[in-house]
Amino acid sequence: MGRRVLTSLGIFGGLIAAAIVAAGAYTALKAPVPTLPNSNLQPENCSPGPCTSLGGYTLWISNVRVDNDLVRMTVKFQNSSSSTHASPEDLQLIDQSRRSSIPVSDVTGCNTWTRHEFTKRGETFGPIDVCFRVTNTAPPFLLRWSPDEGTFCCETTLKLYPT
């Protein structure tokens, strides 16, 4: 009887330890790496902004403007990562009312694209003029980008203001 209790406690403790390690790993993947000034480990930068880079996959945003219930912008991608494609489904715009929208193509000057396959490292795609329908036209807007780079990676959000 005592042996069963100890075995059960050991299994239970192991499961708790595994859950803590998994939660820590997930949190570490989501959080940026803090760096000290002048250290060799600097976060990836991109310019000119607004832009973001996830493991060598860069998204640039330009010409952000509001036109009635549309937010228009130009996007450009450069891939030097393990990701294989750029897809319009990877982009969502969130307005001040916390409503998200995907790119629309039913308006003149608003384009979309089919999934673009990258064939070599460093390849660029774009610029492409895209539009998002919003319910609240007050800035700032949040552009959520979630390229396909694996199971637990990656998602980032850019705060955008009309230019």
Residue 99 lies in a domain: yes
- Do residues 158 and 58 make contact, with C-beta atoms less than 8 angstroms apart? no
Residue 39 lies in a domain: no
Domain that holds residue 81: 51-160
24 C-beta neighbours (distance < 10 Å), count? 10
Averaged pLDDT for residues 68-87: 89
Residue 135 lies in a domain: yes
Averaged pLDDT for residues 59-64: 94
Query: Which pLDDT belongs to residue 27?
Result: 59
Query: Which pLDDT belongs to residue 23?
Result: 64
Residue 124 lies in a domain: yes
For 86-144, write each residue's pLDDT tens digit: 899 999 999 999 999 999 989 999 988 888 988 888 899 999 999 999 999 999 999 99
Residue 126 lies in a domain: yes
Over the chain, what is the mean pLDDT? 82
Q: How many domains does the chain have?
A: 1
Q: Can you tell me which residue has the tokens 């050991």? A: 10
Query: Which pLDDT belongs to residue 42?
Result: 39
CA contacts within 13 A on the Cβ side of 99? 10
CA pair distance 48, 31, nearest whole angstrom: 23
Report the range of poorest mean pLDDT among 38-42, 60-64, 66-70: 38-42
Residue 5 lies in a domain: no
Rounded to 5 degrees, what angle do the CA atoms 147, 148, 152 make? 105
Q: What per-residue string of b and e applies to 91-106 under the rule 16 or more CB within 10 Å gives b? A: bbbbbeeeeebebeee
pLDDT band at 73 (very low <50, low <70, confident <90, very high): very high
Q: Which two tokens stand for residue 135?
A: 């319910």
pTM value surpassing 0.75: no
CA pair distance 31, 17, nearest whole angstrom: 21
Residue 6 lies in a domain: no
Residue 1 lies in a domain: no
More confident residue, 40 or 59: 59
Q: Can you tell me which residue has the tokens 């969502």? A: 92
CATH number at residue 155: 2.60.40
- Do residues 86 and 115 make contact, with C-beta atoms less than 8 angstroms apart? yes
